[in-house]
């Protein structure tokens, strides 16, 4: 869990009181009439946004459409790595963030169980999935994305399905400084905490015996928990370490 000092929730016009109250209770953050000095969650009719430091962020899977449509999905490195013949393949995304990689897996046919430990990110992701379910071009795909809030190290073992793939993209500190990250993501990265339990995360994944554990790393980053993968696939800015079991 992240601490959110000063986080407030502002309810927009036409939004039900009970929705704002439920969010306030869940996050332990007060409702306010106006944005606070730090981070503010704006609950409006067009969805939930995080506002602060002159920035505004809302999860938006429509931005992923260009990557998943028009035959481009099969060019995605991640999608190539997880290619499967299973009829109903299952993947766990143990560090969901805003769910973009999970969306690629779901678009490739996987039913994806997503785990996100940060309550604010989980709320933004839940809202993005909810809105995408109303779109004809995304609803079938996000319908295969099942989000659970909490620490995947404990929660992964509670899913009564055997994953073929476990995907790990815990935060890596180097990314925070990258000039390539867009401004909106900088806001989200104020909340995202690096996984302090790399070893436990990898052990929890290994204990479930998936066919593959796929780990996203910075191009020149160290192996997750020091474990040498079976093979590595390199892109321009990141690489995937793949442990085949």
Ligand X SMILES: C[S@@+](CC[C@H](N)C(=O)[O-])C[C@H]1O[C@@H](n2cnc3c(N)ncnc32)[C@H](O)[C@@H]1O
Binding site for ligand X (CB under 6 A): 94-95, 97-101, 115-118, 121, 151-153, 169-171, 192-193, 195, 201
- Cα distance between residue 79 and residue 101, in whole Å: 9
Please give the full DSSP string across 97-132, using - where no structure is assigned. TTSHHHHHHHHTT-EEEEEE--HHHHHHHHHHHHHH
Q: How far is the CB of 92 from ligand X (least distance, A)?
A: 10
Q: How far is the CB of 23 from ligand X (least distance, A)?
A: 18
Q: Distance of alpha carbon 127 from its chain centroid, rounded?
A: 12
The residue among 11 and 102 lying less far from ligand X, judged by its C-beta, is 102
The residue among 23 and 119 lying less far from ligand X, judged by its C-beta, is 119
Q: How far is the CB of 236 from ligand X (least distance, A)?
A: 16
Q: How far is the CB of 73 from ligand X (least distance, A)?
A: 15
Q: Dihedral angle at the C-alpha atoms of 169, 172, 174, 177, nearest 10 degrees?
A: 80
Question: Are the CB atoms for 19 and 43 separated by under 8 Å?
Answer: yes
The residue among 67 and 211 lying less far from ligand X, judged by its C-beta, is 67
The residue among 116 and 241 lying less far from ligand X, judged by its C-beta, is 116
Element of type H or E holding 222:
none
In the bound complex, which residue of the shown chain has the CB atom lying closest to ligand X? 97
Two tokens, residue 167: 């995907």
Collapsing DSSP to helix, strand or coil, 158 comes out as helix
Q: How far is the CB of 99 from ligand X (least distance, A)?
A: 5
The residue among 11 and 204 lying less far from ligand X, judged by its C-beta, is 204
């Amino acid at each position: 869990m992240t601490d959110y000092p000063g986080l407030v929730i502002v309810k927009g016009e036409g939004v039900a009181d009970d929705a704002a109250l439920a969010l306030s209770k869940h996050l332990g953050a007060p409702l306010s009439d106006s944005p606070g000095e730090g981070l503010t969650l704006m609950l409006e009719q067009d969805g939930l946004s995080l506002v602060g430091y002159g920035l505004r962020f809302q999860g938006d899977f429509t931005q992923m459409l260009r990557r998943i449509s028009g035959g481009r999905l099969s060019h995605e490195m991640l999608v190539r790595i997880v290619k499967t013949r299973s009829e109903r393949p299952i993947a766990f995304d143990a560090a969901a963030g805003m769910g973009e990689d999970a969306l690629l897996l779901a678009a490739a046919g996987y039913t994806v169980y997503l785990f996100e430990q940060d309550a604010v990110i989980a709320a933004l992701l839940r809202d993005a999935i909810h809105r995408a379910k109303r779109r004809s071009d995304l609803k079938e795909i996000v319908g295969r994305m099942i989000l659970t809030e909490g620490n995947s190290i404990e929660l992964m073992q509670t899913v009564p399905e055997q994953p073929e793939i476990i995907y790990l993209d815990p935060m890596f500190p180097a990314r925070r400084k990258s000039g390539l990250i867009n401004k909106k993501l900088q806001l989200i990265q104020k909340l995202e905490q690096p996984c302090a339990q790399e070893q436990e995360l990898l052990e929890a994944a290994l204990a479930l015996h998936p066919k593959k554990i796929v780990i996203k790393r910075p191009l020149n980053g160290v192996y997750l928990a020091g474990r040498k993968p079976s093979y590595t696939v390199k892109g321009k800015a990141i690489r995937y370490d793949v442990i085949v079991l």
